[in-house]
Amino acid sequence: MSAANNAAQSAFGIRMLVSAARTKYRRRNVSRSVSAPSRRTYSR
């Protein structure tokens, strides 16, 4: 049970980290390349 709980917590943390990094990356790239397609950002 402890291992499963730890795995769930790590997955949740990774998801939060990825979402935060994605928002930061998108915010930084908005001003630089607006015409560039953001399909690559949404695929991950």
Consecutive sets of 10 residues in the chain, 44 residues long: mean pLDDT of each? 84 89 76 56 54
pLDDT of residue 27: 75
pLDDT of residue 22: 84
Nearest CA to 44 out of 14, 22, 17 is that of 22
Nearest CA to 29 out of 20, 38, 18 is that of 38
Nearest CA to 26 out of 37, 15, 12 is that of 37
